[in-house]
Amino acid sequence: MTQSLNKDVGLLGAGLVGTALAQRLLAAGFCVFAFDPSPEARLRVESIGGKVLASEIEIARRCRRVIFSLPGTNEVQEALKQISSDLKAGDLILDTTTGDPEIVEKLGKELEGRDVHYLDATLGGSSRQIAAGDAIVLCGAAPLAFIAAGDLLAQFGRQVFHTGATGSGSRMKLVLNLVLGLQRAVLAEGLEFARKSGVDPQRALEILKAGPAYARVMDNKGQKMLSGDFQPEARLAQHWKDVTLMQQSAGSNGAKIPLTDLHEKLLRSAIEAGWGGEDNSAIIKAFY
């Protein structure tokens, strides 16, 4: 397969991440045709120069390369069911959804049997980082499909990792999100521990960033925690969904993830308190 020069790109799902991807692609000269059931999301796409079509089917008929940016595996499966009869040999699906790796691998094999190329192109970074080109891409795909999608993947982030066959990108994304999520939880606990200990939390954050405990999560999420600005860049409830996928995967492969099990309880309590739609930095509220 040779890399396509077609500038028409479909987008299913225009939430925080989908909109950020659309911004990147439009700035690079691609024509983005999107569908999202949310009127607000459709208006957002139009406001940045994208074009909205009436259904998933219209997207598949219009575009040979389609990006999925959906909440989870169930939505991916439903979208594929909707467009299945309109997929043609040589079509490319780039799925940025954080989903169940076992199902992703199965879908990839089924579609490859029809010569439809399915890449799990998961993203490391918030919607803000994606829009700024500061995310990383973890892509599971057959080698030729990976090459054919190269011009699109280059717009998704600053560095693209080919992790292996379809499904491997989703597996690595869970590893990445496990570490990131625990870093946020530890930072939140540390900042509240500082506050309750009589240490100025702003000063504590400054010292943490300067010393051996530094992690990049402190640069943005730390300040959001201290300011109480929980405008979502990545929603807390979405991370809880990812954590449940980690637990499911660990249960099937025998991995021990006791810290993640505790993290899931914290996240669930935060959602029950009504904070699920807020930024994932709102985990600090669980320590107030």
The pLDDT value recorded for residue 86 is: 96
Per residue in 240-281, pLDDT tens? 999 999 999 999 999 999 999 999 999 999 999 999 999 999
- The residues that bridge with 113 in the sheet, in sequence order, are none
| Residue 54: strand, helix, or coil | coil
Question: 162 φ, ψ to 5°?
Answer: -85, 110
- The residues that bridge with 139 in the sheet, in sequence order, are 121, 162
Residues of the chain scoring pLDDT < 70: 1-5
The pLDDT value recorded for residue 227 is: 97
Quickly tell me which residue has 């730390």 as its tokens: 222
H or E segment to which residue 142 belongs: none
Per residue in 104-131, pLDDT tens? 999 999 999 999 999 999 999 999 999 9
Q: Please say whether the beta carbons of 173 and 122 come within 8 A.
A: yes
Q: Please say whether the beta carbons of 205 and 226 come within 8 A.
A: yes
Q: Please say whether the beta carbons of 87 and 96 come within 8 A.
A: no
- The domains found in the chain, sorted by start residue, are 8-165 (3.40.50.720), 172-287 (1.10.1040.10)
285 token code pair: 């509220």
Per residue in 43-53, pLDDT tens? 999 999 999 99
The pLDDT value recorded for residue 4 is: 46
CB proximity list for 181: less than 8 A, separation 6 or greater: 239, 242, 243, 260, 263, 280
Residues 110, 254: Cα–Cα separation, whole Å: 27
Residue 279: DSSP 8-state = B
Q: Please say whether the beta carbons of 149 and 121 come within 8 A.
A: yes
pTM above 0.75, yes or no: yes
